[in-house]
Amino acid sequence: MNNEKEENNISSVFPLFKSLTEQELELLNSRIKCNIYRKGEIIYREGSKITGCYCVNKGIIKIYKTGIDFKPQIVAFAIKGDITGYRSVLSNEVACTTAEVLEEAEIYYIPSDIIFNLIKSNSDFALSLIQLTCRELDQANIFIKDIAQKTVKQRLAEVLLMLEKTFKTDSDGFIAVNLTREDISSIVGTATESVIRILGDFKKENFISIKGKKIKILDKKKLSLISDSLF
Amino acid sequence: MNNEKEENNISSVFPLFKSLTEQELELLNSRIKCNIYRKGEIIYREGSKITGCYCVNKGIIKIYKTGIDFKPQIVAFAIKGDITGYRSVLSNEVACTTAEVLEEAEIYYIPSDIIFNLIKSNSDFALSLIQLTCRELDQANIFIKDIAQKTVKQRLAEVLLMLEKTFKTDSDGFIAVNLTREDISSIVGTATESVIRILGDFKKENFISIKGKKIKILDKKKLSLISDSLF
DNA sequence: CGGAACTTTGACACGTCTCAAATGCCGTGG
DNA sequence: CCACGGCATTTGAGACGTGTCAAAGTTCCG
């Protein structure tokens, strides 16, 4: 189970672990558990106790907070190479978000004591972890500024660009993720109907094309201009 | 300058440094610089390079991102015991926010190499730093959810409660900070006029009282109910 | 094939923003 | 000490964006 191939895999897929020594990688591998999750499954739920963190090797996870009337607010996605749940582990608090599988996922579980030990034994690892949280914090602050100051149309344009950047495109140029209109609305922070209407506008103006849930960006420049309100 | 009293001071005012050894504290003290900033002064500006981080010993700092048409979006305050600028230092990037003095401030400056060395030499310090960023990250995510889902009235109620909790009250019960209506609007993420109107509503309903810039919360319970939209 | 979930469309109401103008407040300089 | 100018606050009117509700159409999946 802890063969050479898999060891290489962990540190190559997850940049966070690239500073680990061979011994540390060995220990990590000996304690890692791999699980497959189906679409719709909950990996951990807001308010529940977390005993380790989750490294996504395959699939797509949406991470959200539950808001008014149980309306979810998506705050992040996790895909191959991303690590989630570490925040609650490190601050020893219950999970502050829910992680739900959007596309069948293969996920490594790392018990929290391993994380703490790595922080103690390897300062480069600690630094990487700090830098990771700092990056996420900046992302969050940017999002706050946007959501507070931009119109729904601007935010939707921005979200579409973000989605393409995050999930890349398939062979036909469509963004490689299946999100419901409701999902999109709970990223943008708006009503589902508003998303639908504005997507319709974008389509009419040939900024995007739509095939069912799939969206293809045709005019990245125009969407950028809209999102930055420079048009 | 580096007398015993000041050494004790640093670690007692800033919880982040409580795990430092005597030698580390001594080194820290030998490199720290203390500055006084007047109201309106900029400590660092978004987009500029940062060479160290700032520990607030006195005064009030507002931290904001610049948005559309240069409209600022306040993302945090820093008061006695808070540390700011460390994010940009750690991620080796230009400042992603601007820090501006609201009330005359006394601020310790710590060169970035000290921070990096402490992370290397003291894993408890590294862990504290990680936990600090994690807490801030969670705060940011909560704010995203609120700003996306709540009405302006709900958000303003919440912000008033936050302000009282952060800055406490003076002897007359007024929140101990001077913010312009514009400042408040750029926390809430709305127009200045909306803030004024809704503050007027709150006053009319006796949830708050107003004397110039100063605000006193009269009915914390009602404001909580409004903010949680449970009324 | 059937039912549930998702998407789309329309009408309408309401919240919020913008613009404009009046008033109030405060520090500066005469 | 007062007058002035500039900035902050307040109020009003109107336009616009966005949310809500209801209903019909569509897709998905067992």
Hey, where are the domains in chain B?
3-147, 150-228
Can you give the distance from the CA of residue B193 to the C1' of nucleotide D14 in angstroms?
15
Backbone angles phi, psi at B92, to 5 degrees: 55, 40
Most confidently modeled of A1-5, A107-111, B148-152?
Answer: A107-111
The mean per-residue pLDDT over the stretch A132-145 comes to 91
**Which nucleotide lies at the shortest CA–C1' distance from A178?**
C6
Helices vs strands, H then E, count in chain B: 9, 8
3-state secondary structure of B222: helix
The answer to whether the beta carbons of residues A162 and A224 sit under 8 Å apart is no
**Which nucleotide lies at the shortest CA–C1' distance from B183?**
D8
Q: Is the pLDDT of residue A5 over 60?
A: no
Distance CA B218, CA A201 (A): 47
The mean per-residue pLDDT over the stretch A147-172 comes to 95
Could you tell me which CATH number the domain at A150-228 has? Answer: 1.10.10.10
Whole-model pTM above 0.85? yes
Residue B137 near chain A (CB below 8 Å): yes
Task: Kindly list the distances between the CA atom of residue A16 and the CA atoms of A55, A56, B123, in Å, as whole numbers in the listed order.
Answer: 10, 13, 17
Q: Is the pLDDT of residue A2 over 70?
A: no
Q: Which CATH superfamily is A3-147 part of?
A: Jelly Rolls (2.60.120.10)
Other CB atoms within 10 A of residue A113 CB: 12
- Does the beta-carbon distance from A137 to B137 stay under 8 Å? yes
Amino acid A113 reads: D
User: Using CA atoms in the order B163, B201, B193, B188, what is the torsion angle rounded to 10 degrees?
Assistant: 30
Residue A112 near chain B (CB below 8 Å): no
- Does the beta-carbon distance from A140 to B137 stay under 8 Å? yes
The mean per-residue pLDDT over the stretch B202-221 comes to 95
Task: Kindly list the distances between the CA atom of residue B72 and the CA atoms of A149, B46, B139, in Å, as whole numbers in the listed order.
Answer: 9, 11, 19
- Does the beta-carbon distance from A90 to B189 stay under 8 Å? no
Q: Is the pLDDT of residue B211 over 90?
A: yes
Distance CA B137, CA B143 (A): 10
What percent of chain A clears pLDDT 70, i.e. is strictly above it?
A: 95
Angle, CA of B186, B187 and B193, to the nearest 5°: 50
Does residue A193 reach within 7 angstroms of strand C, measured from its CB? yes
Q: Which residue of chain A comes nearest to B189, CA vs CA?
A: A148
The answer to whether the beta carbons of residues B76 and B135 sit under 8 Å apart is no
Cross-chain CB nearest to B123 (options A126, A135, A142): A126
The mean per-residue pLDDT over the stretch B51-65 comes to 96
